[in-house]
Amino acid sequence: MRIVSWNCSMALYKKRHLLDELAPDVAVLQEVSKKDIEGGNYPFAAWVGSNPHKGLGVIGFSPGSYRMTEPGDRGLPWHLPFSVDGLNVVALWAHQLDKDLKYVRVTHKIVDQHARFLGTGRAMIVGDFNSNTVWDHQHRGRNHSMLVDKLRGIGLDSVYHRQHQSAHGAEQAKTFFHNWDRDLGHHIDYAFVSSGVEAKVTVGEIEHWLPYSDHMPLVIDLD
């Protein structure tokens, strides 16, 4: 199964050919319009957000056994829990509810709420986390390193870090470029997968993707 996560920076309808080139079975898309998700004839589609032009969406392109298995709390922006062919997935765009509950702090609460769903032994949380260990000091008590430990405690680890034997905060590949600036790259998009699930991830190349979005796609192949 191939799962692609991409913050498409809106206007997916102008960039759809780029997603098609990646040939995903499932796409998790951030900053995507409700119309771009629900306007097609797909085996599965779901969207959540407060702005119809800019939310979190999931498209199932390949036939499969899809279902929304747990309710997504709209008070925790934004996430969509679903399953496909026995894989439990939480699609994520970690956003901001208020001054205190934002980014990695939101993700902590989402993981807490769906810990049983994610702890089944065949699960994934994937998307734009808007967090990294380098900013731990900004989120004392609920930071990224603590999130990594929390996910490890329910049996999930980052595919990128497993594959490259990299520490969090020391990633060579950047997934986001602030202000679309090549010199302001950060690694803030992740796929955490159950430790017993074989997976590989590829990060999109900046030369190809930066003209279209400040985020690079993650292409995750699961055995």
pLDDT digits (tens, 9 = 90+) for 11-66: 999 999 999 999 999 999 999 999 999 988 999 999 999 999 999 999 999 999 99
pLDDT confidence band for 100 (50 / 70 / 90): confident
- Please answer whether residues 217 and 20 qualify as being in contact, where contact means their C-beta atoms are separated by less than 8 angstroms: no
Please give the residue that has the higher pLDDT: either 72 or 59: 59
Total structural domains within the chain: 1
Sole residue written with tokens 């950047």? 174
Tell whether the model's pLDDT for residue 222 goes beyond 90. Answer: yes
- Please answer whether residues 155 and 116 qualify as being in contact, where contact means their C-beta atoms are separated by less than 8 angstroms: no
Amino acid at site 142 = R
As a whole number of angstroms, the distance between CA 120 and CA 132 comes to 25
Q: Give the residues across from 185 on adjacent strands.
A: 177
pLDDT digits (tens, 9 = 90+) for 147-179: 999 999 999 999 999 999 999 999 999 999 999
Asked whether the CA dihedral 178, 190, 115, 168 is positive or negative, the reply is negative
What SS3 class is residue 76?
A: coil
Tell whether the model's pLDDT for residue 99 goes beyond 90. Answer: no
Mean pLDDT of the chain, nearest integer = 96
Whole-model pTM? Answer: 0.97
Tell whether the model's pLDDT for residue 72 goes beyond 80. Answer: no
**pLDDT in the model for residue 70:** 81
Which residues constitute the domain of residue 36?
2-222
pLDDT digits (tens, 9 = 90+) for 168-220: 999 999 999 999 999 999 999 999 999 999 999 999 999 999 999 999 999 99
Average pLDDT on 59-74 reads: 91
Q: Which CATH number goes with the domain that contains 113? A: 3.60.10.10
pLDDT digits (tens, 9 = 90+) for 108-137: 999 999 999 999 999 999 999 999 999 999
Nearest residue to 58 (alpha-carbon basis) of 5, 19, 98? 5
**pLDDT in the model for residue 58:** 98
- Please answer whether residues 12 and 19 qualify as being in contact, where contact means their C-beta atoms are separated by less than 8 angstroms: yes
